[in-house]
Structures are given as structure tokens and as C-alpha cells.
Copies of this chain bind each other. A is one copy, B any other.
Amino acid sequence: MESHLSIDEVAKRTGLTAHTLRYYERIGLIAPVARAAGGQRRYAASDMAWIEFLLRLRTTHMPIGKMQTFAKLRGAGDRTVSERRQMLEAHLTDVLANIEAMRQSAESLRVKIAYYRAFEQSLASNSNTDEGDVNETQKSLRTRTRKTARNRR
């Protein structure tokens, strides 16, 4: 484990800011990084691998709270492997549902774009200069993914 990368180097490579890297360490997402003589952080290859993993969790919208839970389990050693696997499996299920919801919505957007394009064509041919708006009347999808489908009161 060669500890060599400065925080700015890591920032450059990961796309995170140095601020965010320190923040992640502060809140326990990243375990305390090795320090050079003067107290400056030196990131090892294993740190980089872990950060990249965190970024994959982030890309898939895992909230920081869950990442913290996961990081804590990891810090507790091998006996938490099964629990970690279960967390990832649950997360993966969410992610796949999410991807599917986005895919469907993207398809709707594509349809709407096509509709707009057709409308622009018809505007171009007969110069229909007065009112009468393009209405958002497409078939009612029921696409919910964010946590908003809660039971209030």
C-alpha cells in the first residue's frame, strides 16, 4: 500500500473537491487517511478504490446515511460481509427499479419531443399565427419512484 497521493491529486482524479474529500472523512465515509510528516493527507491505492466504490453508490443515489452504515460495517471486519451483501442487494433492487422508471419517463419525453416536432412542422406549413396551445394530453402514466408515495397523516 503506497501512500502517495495528495488531496488535490485525489480531487483531480475522482472529480470530488478537496472540501468534499475532507467532509467525507469527517463524517466517517472514508476512514482516517494516512498523513505525511506535516499532517497532510496521503491517499493510498486502497483509499482510491474505496472512494471509487463510494462514487458508484453515489451515482446510484444511495443516500449518505446508508453509505455511512455501510462504511461502518466495513470497518467492523469480515464478519459483516453478509450484512453488507444484503445491503447492496437491497440497494441494487432499488437501483434497477429506478433505472426502469427513468427509462420509461425518457421514452415519454421522446414521444413528446416528436409531438412538438410535428407541431412545429404544421406551424411551418400553414402560418397559424393565433392562440390555441399544445396541450399536455398524453396517456396517463403512473411513474412514481421517489419516496413521495407516502401515507400522510
Contact across chains for A56 and B109 when beta carbons are under 8 A apart? yes
- Copy number of this protein in the oligomer? 2
Decide: A78 near B123, CB < 8 A? Known: A49-B138, A50-B136, A55-B144. Answer: yes
Assembly CA distance A88 to B85 (angstroms): 38
Report if A25 contacts B (CB, 8 A). Answer: no
Assembly CA distance A98 to B48 (angstroms): 23
Which A residues are within 8 Å of any B CB, using their own CB? 11, 15-18, 20, 45-46, 48-50, 52-53, 55-61, 74, 77-78, 81-82, 84-85, 88-89, 91-92, 95-96, 98-99, 101-103, 105-106, 108-110, 112-113, 116-117, 119-120, 123, 128, 131-138, 140-141, 143-146, 148-150, 152
